[in-house]
Amino acid sequence: MQYKHYPNRPGEMTADFVREEYRGLIDRVDGAEKAESAEAWLALYEDWNAFKSFVGSEGSRRSHALSKDMNNEEAEEREKYFREEISPVFEEGESQLVQALLASKHKEEVGARYGDYLLRSLATSVDPLNPVNSSLRVKVSELVNKYDKIIASGEVEINGETVTLAVARSMQGSENQEIRKAAYTAWREWLLKQREEIAGIFDEIVKLRHQMALNLGYDNFIPLGYLGMGRTDYSVEEAAQFRANIRRYAVPLLVKIQEMQAKEHETETLKPWDSGFTPSLNLPSGVAPISTQIEKAERVFEKLSPVLASHFKRMQEENLIDLENRKGKRAGAYCTSFPDEGRVAILCNSTGDEDDVRTLMHEMGHAFQGWESQPIEAIDLQWPTSDACEVHSMGMEYLSMKHMDEFFNDHDATKFRRNRWKQAVTLICYIAVVDEFQHWLYENPTATPDERDVAWNRISDTYQPGVDYSDNPEYQAMRWYAQGHIFWMPFYYIDYAIAETGAMQLGLIDKENSEKAMETYLELCRMGGTKSVLDIFRSTGLRSPFEPELMYELMLHAADELGIDDYAAAA
């Protein structure tokens, strides 16, 4: 790695140590500012950058250890200490140094040394790091952790068998309708039982975030949330236009898909327990045994690129892939990094079904970008904003599709590929539900839990109009209680849809020229976060996600993949 390894590493990181190290860095600001040349500021930034890498990596290590087992009391205490004691000190030190750099007469030289986007990126962090909200951020983190523990400990009984929530969700993709319905019902009933507690947690989170915004002079949390996502290229207006493009071009195709599903299920309307399963596209349960996933994935990456294969092999050797679902493991899947070690890790919740393959490809896409971006010196630029970094993850889903015969037989591999295009449409529409709902939440911070559920249902009906909840209307709103992003990181979710437009473009390039597609992908990975999202799209020849024509053309291609001939007329 090219950045400086922080030399003064204690045996155990403490808040006092972090405070003293930042004090030493901050004490150097006046001298660096008075100097005629930028050399002192460049030296200061180099040391600051290395220290930030060390502290951030330690936070990632503790969080990752807890994610592996949220019932591990020692891991919980270590993560809690970092979150409650170290993070506020870290954020205060960062806030002071960021503001000092942005106000410096030498800032342009620092920007020229590390990349012009560094200053733009740091500017978005000023308000999210403001010390005035340190105690509120700690409270929010504690509430989010409480929510995570509830979800991680969840178990339901299906046909006499007790399973985790992750397994219950995977069972909703069963080819057996009775199992699908039983799994769907058990999952939603569990959420209904937890609703009061989860709704209370979220109510406190919204109030705290709203107060953060008021403390900084905003009318509500939305602009602060956008800054927290590091957005420099677009705002609320562009996001609203993007959702309008989805309503105009993706929703009509989704309706066609839902009609196709209902017909295949031989039902007049599409029931919610059938919405995640299409007989002509989905594969049988257990089709991807966990014990074979790593070996098969390795063969896929060997076929794609020796660069990708080498990263994957190293992750296996260094135990950086945590694959299988188990009780107490944090729900979902993610990629994280420890830049002071120059390492990247992923966590999944595999259950042996086809969606495990998509998830593994997705998280490895993040990991490949993380490995390829390690040489970038500025820690703040190693990872792009999430709307850009999701291109790497979703892009890997598309680029790997041609090698799905490693996981499945030829017939099933073809179904898997077609189903991924169907999932793109359903995902984009669902993402719009989450994004519009989040805007509504923070525009209406005093809303009651019942009002939030009504808003979810109304928005869901706008973007997912073909699902029939009439049998159990109370189940519809329960979906958002299980969507962790709404709790963890507000306004993240639209990033998946924005990135999906880039990933789909990679998929289309791959159909024409596989070599060019892989070159583009690796270029994206090496670029990391050195550019803004729209500059990343432009510099790699991808069209802007906000072009209405692009959304139409992508949906047209998805319709063609799915054999839906009358989409153009419907759109």
**Mean pLDDT score, 216-234:** 96
**Mean pLDDT score, 6-25:** 92
Q: Give the pLDDT confidence of 72-108 residue by residue, as tens digits.
A: 999 999 999 999 999 999 999 999 999 999 999 999 9
What is the residue-wise DSSP string for 136-188? HHHHHHHHHHHHHHHHHT-EEEETTEEEEHHHHHHHTT-SSHHHHHHHHHHHH
- Rounded CA separation 391/134 (Å): 32
- Taking alpha carbons only, the member of 29, 66, 73 closest to residue 144 is 66
Q: What is the 3-state secondary structure (H, E, C) of 41-108?
A: HHHHHHHHHHHHHHHHHHHHHHHHHHHHCCCCHHHHHHHHHHHHHHHHHHHHHHHHHHHHHHCCCCHH
Residue with tokens 């105009």: 248
- Rounded CA separation 348/286 (Å): 16
Q: Does residue 5 have a pLDDT over 80?
A: no
- Answer for the pair 337, 345: CB distance below 8 angstroms, yes or no: yes
Q: Give the pLDDT confidence of 465-511 residue by residue, as tens digits.
A: 999 999 999 999 999 999 999 999 999 999 999 999 999 999 999 99
Q: Give the pLDDT confidence of 253-295 residue by residue, as tens digits.
A: 999 999 999 999 999 999 999 999 999 999 998 999 999 999 9
- Rounded CA separation 495/162 (Å): 35
**Mean pLDDT score, 327-352:** 95
> To the nearest whole number, what is the mean pLDDT of the chain?
95
pTM of structure: 0.91
- Rounded CA separation 241/257 (Å): 24
pLDDT at residue 569, as a whole number: 62
What the block records as the tokens of 260 is 């196709």
- Answer for the pair 56, 63: CB distance below 8 angstroms, yes or no: no
- Answer for the pair 78, 10: CB distance below 8 angstroms, yes or no: no
- Three-state SS at 347: strand
What pLDDT band is residue 1 in, cutting at 50, 70 and 90?
very low
Q: Does residue 4 have a pLDDT over 60?
A: no
